[in-house]
Structure 1
Amino acid sequence: MSAHSKHVNADGSHGPLPPLHLPRRTRMLLWAALLVLVGAVAADVLAGPGVTLTPMLAVTPMVSAPATRNPRVPLATGAVAAVMAVLIAYFVDVALPISVHVASLLSIVAASLASAATVALMASRERELFHVRNVAEAAQRALLRPPPERIGQLRIAVRYTAAAAESRIGGDLYEVTETAYGVRILLGDVQGHGLAAVETAADVLGAFRAGSRIVADLAQLAERMDRIQASHAMQERFVTALLLEVPPTGPAKFVNCGHPPPLLRRAGRVVELKPPAAAPPLGLRHLAGGRYQAGLFEPRRGDLLLLHTDGVSEARDRADRFYPLAERLAALRASAPEDLLDLLLADVGRWAEHGLTDDAALLALRWDR
């Protein structure tokens, strides 16, 4: 960001924060509090000189505080409340002792100062959290580099969605790279979440990027990545992964390391590409045994292959039913990978009314020729 585009926030720091958004329930509660205050002032005026409700005006700056990041706002509303208290004392509550009016004014001043301090503190904490999230997002963008939209015969699109709206970092990973053996693709899901999962994702991506250019056999590449993952200190953190190789000619190969199978959509029908044999996730082969084997399929023009993590296939609706990914994929009319992924994510969002419980990564390929 250039120096000319910066501005100073209410808390004295530089750089814009996202717009403040209050949940609907919070807005309703604040409006209810405001109506109570208006009713109290009206009741005070109608009650005459023997009764006062002006101490309730001390709540005014507290009502305005949640709706702003500027500490001047509760100070200003407190000043308005103080003026109203003076006017009511002078014109309405003339029969009450001066000590009652002084107590009301002092209450308004104290509440205004406390509300302003709270707003300033919350704005500062929000800015710190905003910067931390931006750093995390930048780190993840550095790890998950966007693939090219087209490589030879392939048209490619990727989408990544965090389980929580406030989360910008997770353990799903993907990579697309051109090698002497063809286009090689990785889609994986690290066990767990947070920074530890991202560290593991970085290790897996590094192993794939280094090995995909020098290891000719795709199954041997998976074995190499498994050994690297198992050699790390955090051996209990495993990674489900799908490796795909699309050569310039001939059948495509895939190795499934304990990952949800990819879905092939061809002529309106969707089928799962199942591996020749079950294989464990990366980092667990030394415990579970078995070996990685490559499956084959012959792509045709117009085929669309969807790679996904279980954040999509395990999304649940209100009745606790899993999202029928294969059925919905067959029903979507979009042919362009990027359009199809947008429609698919929107459909998953409607299915999982309470949001995703896990991060979701989607990678779609279409053979154009």
Structure 2
Amino acid sequence: MNSGQATTGAMRWALAVPYVIIMAVALVDVLAQSTVLLSLLATPPALTAATSRPRTVLLVGGLALVVCAGILLADDTVGPGRAAAALGAVAFVALAAAQTSALRVRAGQRHQRTKQELMDVRAVADVAQEMVLGPVPQVNGPIELAVSYTSATIGARIGGDLYEAVTMPDGGTRLLVGDVQGKGLPAVRTAVTVLTAFRAAALTASSLHEVAQHIENALRRRESVEKFVTAVLADCTEQGRVTLLNFGHPPPLVRRRDASVRAVEPDVPGPPLGLPPGLGSHGLDSPGTGTVLLSPGDRLLFYTDGTTEARDPSGAFFALPAAVRHLGHRSLDHDLAALREALTRHTRGPLDDDAALLLLRLNSPGAPPSANHERR
């Protein structure tokens, strides 16, 4: 017997218990020619209220009243006062149980409506996120990309995690991974501003600093609400040279073919984008720059803090570098799925914040890319 059949059987037995009690009381009292179990007739409607609707509770209460009256009529030793008290007790419990059942049913309906509303909100949020985050190029020569977006728990507001990648005219790839301060529609609007500015400047700007300045100008021009953005901009050539510009974002992790992992951090950290004037100047001499040279088979993981700030029930953070060390599958999507699974095992449940992942691998020239790319 499976669990579903066992549950159904248990529910049927629970529904039958009140009727069994009524029949047992009637049988024992008639055979004993006494009212020794008469008080138990108030139990069936109370039990029925836990699983049934008010109409059923009243039906069981009415049946208990009829049986109670029949037992009292059959026993002429019961005085009028005791008979009235017995009938009144059964009737009172039946009415109270019906009211309890009605409250339980209404609470269940409210819970179901709330759950459906949360699911509807989440569905809208997912669609909005899909509209904000377009597909990235999967393969550009020896450069291969895969992305993953893991949503937080149902009911959590849509976040401002963002990513984008474009194929450059010279054959390289220019990409962006970022995280807007806060959540909700203001964060989404800021994310759209950042992505729009990046897409407009990525193909024509001569440097990452110029792209960053374009994003900074767009934020200052369009954002009335103070929202800063942590971000990493990167240029990757077909030879594997990656130039990074980091604006207060968690540093990418490079995973070498020998399974060693290290963070690619700039010598001087850069401030987030979108800070008030005077605090976030990103001229050509801006801090936050760094470089890394990839060899064929090396991977570079970009991520948002929803990954590194995920905690287990004891409060320990997710050890992302240790998880990245195990990435070595032929398929990048398989690697990202393994990361998501490790994250779920660590938190033992849904995430509290959205988590975006972008995984880049440098393949040997002429090597076939992995297949079955997907975005979640």
The aligned residue for residue 64 of structure 2 is: 85
- Contact in 2 for aligned 1:229/1:235 (Cα 8 Å): no
**What is aligned with 2:326?**
331
Question: What displacement does 1:141 show?
Answer: 0.9
Alignment of 1:32-181 (within 5 A): 41=21, 45=25, 48-54=36-42, 57-58=45-46, 60-61=48-49, 63-64=50-51, 74=53, 77-78=56-57, 81-82=60-61, 85-86=64-65, 88-89=67-68, 96-97=83-84, 98-167=87-156, 169-181=158-170
Q: 1:149 to 1:166 in 2, by over 3 A?
A: farther
| C-alpha distance in 2 between matches for 1:88 and 1:216 | 92
- For residue 182 of structure 2, give the secondary structure of its aligned residue in structure 1: coil
Q: Which moved more, 1:149-158 or 1:195-204?
A: 149-158
Counterpart for residue 246 of structure 1: 236
Question: Which runs of no fewer than 5 residues in structure 2 stay unpaired?
Answer: 1-6, 29-34, 365-376
| Equivalent position of 1:205 in the other structure | 195
Structure 1 residues 115 and 326: CA distance shift in structure 2, 3 A:
closer
1:113-133 residue CA offsets vs partner (Å, 9 max, x unmatched): 444444444434433333222
Instruction: Write the mapping of 1:225-236 to structure 2, written as runs, cut at 5 A.
Output: 225-234=215-224, 236=226
Distance in 1, matches of 2:44 and 2:61, equals 11
2-structure distance, mates of 1:42, 1:82: 10
Q: Is the 8 A contact 1:58 1:112 kept in 2?
A: no
Question: Does structure 2 retain, via aligned residues, the 8 Å contact 1:276–1:294?
Answer: yes
Change (3 A) 1:105 1:212: same
- 8 A contact 1:156–1:363 mirrored in 2: yes
Distance 1:322 1:125 in 2: 31
> Which letter maps to 1:145?
G
Which one-letter code corresponds to 2:132 in the other structure? L
Which residue in the other structure is 2:210 paired with?
220
How many residues are aligned here? 329
CA offsets, 1:91-128, max 9 Å, x none? 66766434444434434444444444444444344333
- RMSD of aligned alpha carbons: 3.5
Aligned residue identity for 1:244? A
Distance across 2 between alignment mates of 1:262 and 1:351: 21
Query: Structure 1 stretch 156-165 or stretch 75-84: which is displaced more?
Result: 75-84
Shift of 1:74: 2.8
Give SS of 1:176's match: strand
> What residue number does 1:281 align with?
272
- Quote the residue 1:367 is aligned against: 362
Q: How far, CA to CA, are the matches of 1:130 and 1:165 in structure 2?
A: 7
Q: CA deviation at 1:53?
A: 5.0
Q: Distance in 2 between matches of 1:159 and 1:341?
A: 7
Instruction: State the alpha-carbon separation in 2 of the partners of residues 208 and 103 from structure 1.
Output: 71
Contact 1:259–1:281 (CA under 8 A) maintained in structure 2: yes
Q: Distance in 1 between matches of 2:241 and 2:71?
A: 90
Q: Is contact 2:22-2:41 (8 Å) kept?
A: no
From 237, 247, 257, the equivalent of 2:247 is 257
Question: Counterpart in 2 of 1:187?
Answer: 177
Helix, strand or coil: the match of 2:173? strand
Q: 1:269 aligns with which of 260, 277, 282?
A: 260
Instruction: Report the Cα offset of residue 80 of structure 1.
Output: 6.2
Alpha carbons of 1:314 and 1:135: their partners in 2 closer, same or farther (altered >3 Å)? closer
**Structure 1 pair 80/188, CA: closer, same or farther in 2 (3 Å)?**
farther
1: distance between equivalents of 2:89 and 2:63? 15
For residue 287 of structure 1, give the secondary structure of its aligned residue in structure 2.
coil
Shift of 1:342: 1.5
Residue 338 of structure 1: SS of its match in structure 2? helix
Partners of 1:48 and 1:146 in 2: how far apart?
76
How high is the sequence identity, in percent, across the aligned residues?
Answer: 33
Q: Flag the 1:121–1:323 CA change in 2: closer, same or farther, 3 A.
A: closer
Partner of 1:4: none
Which residue number in structure 1 is paired with residue 309 of structure 2?
Answer: 314
Q: 1:266 Cα shift? A: 1.1
Distance 1:85 1:115, change over 3 A: farther
Q: Secondary structure at the match of 2:361?
A: strand
C-alpha distance in 2, partners of 1:254/1:75? 67
**Alpha-carbon offset, residue 339 of structure 1:** 1.3
Question: CA offsets per residue over residues 113-168 of structure 1, 9 Å max, x none?
Answer: 44444444443443333322211211111111233433332222212223434436
AA in 1 matched with 2:48: T
Structure 2 Cα separation of the partners of residues 186 and 87 of structure 1? 76
Contact 1:263 1:305 (8 Å CA) reproduced: yes
Aligned to 1:341: 336
